[in-house]
Amino acid sequence: MKKIGIIICGRYHHCAGGKCLRALRNREGAFALYRGEDVDLVGYTTCGGCPGGNVEYAPAEMKKNGAEIIHLATGLVVGYPPCPRLQTFCEFIPEKFGLEVVIGTHPIPENYYRTHRALGTWQSSRWQKHIQHVLVDETIRLAYD
């Protein structure tokens, strides 16, 4: 069984997690990585808001609860502007806590996809790598609008 934690963007601190939890249940978006596997969600929190101070502590608690993998929620890549500290989190969490990091939770919703495509946000190879697990076909993007 995979044990995961989810860290969402602080600007979405009122989010109830509906899209992330639906994607986890349906194994969509980044959770498609676990098709056919059991997954236990052992933690869910925000980054703490810019500059992401909670990232310094939350993964430790998640690790105590058995987390092996931390998912940095899709909101960190679809919000505008996307999180400027995303790469730093991707480097810090494995180094400090020995946990794998996956960028993304639920699929990118269509409205965010259209906006970022028009703005050219994700054209670089780095961004293409960052969104690889949550960039899905239009039908699924529309279902997450």
Proportion of the chain above pLDDT 90, given as a percent: 100
pTM: 0.95
Contact at 8 Å (CB) between 108 and 135? yes
User: What DSSP letter does each residue of 54-92 carry, written as one string?
Assistant: GGGTHHHHHHHTT--EEEE-THHHHSSSPPTTHHHHHHH
Residue 97 has a pLDDT of 98
**C-alpha span between 41 and 57 (Å, rounded):** 18
Structural domain boundaries of the chain?
Answer: 2-143
pLDDT for the residue 27: 98
Asked if 77 contacts 86 with a C-beta cutoff of 8 angstroms, the reply is yes
In this prediction, residue 20 carries a pLDDT of 97
- For residues 129 and 101, the answer to whether their CB atoms sit within 8 Å is no
Q: How confident is the model over 92-115, as pLDDT tens digits?
A: 999 999 999 999 999 999 999 999
CATH architecture of structural domain 2-143: 3-Layer(aba) Sandwich (3.40)
For 101, the token pair is 């990091």
Report d(CA 134, CA 141) in Å as an integer.
9
